[in-house]
Amino acid sequence: MKRKLILAAGLIATLSACGGGRGLAGRDRPDEFAVSRQAPLVVPPDFALVPPAPGTPAAASVDASQEAMQAMFGGPAQRSAAESGTLTQAGRADAATGIRSQVGDPDTQVVNKGNTTRDIIAAPEGDGQDARAAVPQ
């Protein structure tokens, strides 16, 4: 009997949570009949666009890779006199055109600089406190 009483009390408590109130979890629901239509979106005319001039290349005939390079890196930039002079002294005219592609090529021949150069490059970065310099006499 006691078991039935506990079961009935639990059932009543469970069912009481379902009734009454202002909707699901105490929230007001939207009125589906109060919905009105919005005016459609209109694209304003663009008066800055002009038709292409006769004889100009079509947009589809432009090379996509050149367009991407132009967008990423821009066109040829004007260099200052100091920058141009530095590049000239560094031998800009002697550099191979595709040198960056050739350096990464596994068939590129390299010169072995020895273990000392390798150790210098592989040395851990430090604050320079252990570094010593000697001037030859």
pLDDT on residue 50: 78
Higher pLDDT, 28 or 7: 7
Whether pTM > 0.75 for this model: the answer is: no
Number of C-beta neighbours around residue 113 at 10 A: 10
Lowest-confidence range among 4-8, 88-92, 99-103? Answer: 99-103
Distance CA 4, CA 100 (A): 86
Distance CA 69, CA 63 (A): 10
**Mean pLDDT throughout 29-55?**
78
Lowest-confidence range among 13-27, 33-47, 70-84? Answer: 13-27
Distance CA 53, CA 80 (A): 36
In this model, does residue 85 exceed pLDDT 60?
Answer: yes
Tell me the per-residue pLDDT of 65-84, one tens digit each, with 9 for 90 and over: 888 877 777 766 677 888 88
**Mean pLDDT throughout 105-115?**
78
pLDDT on residue 114: 82
Q: For residue 119, which phi and psi values (nearest 5 degrees)?
A: -65, -35
Distance CA 64, CA 134 (A): 56
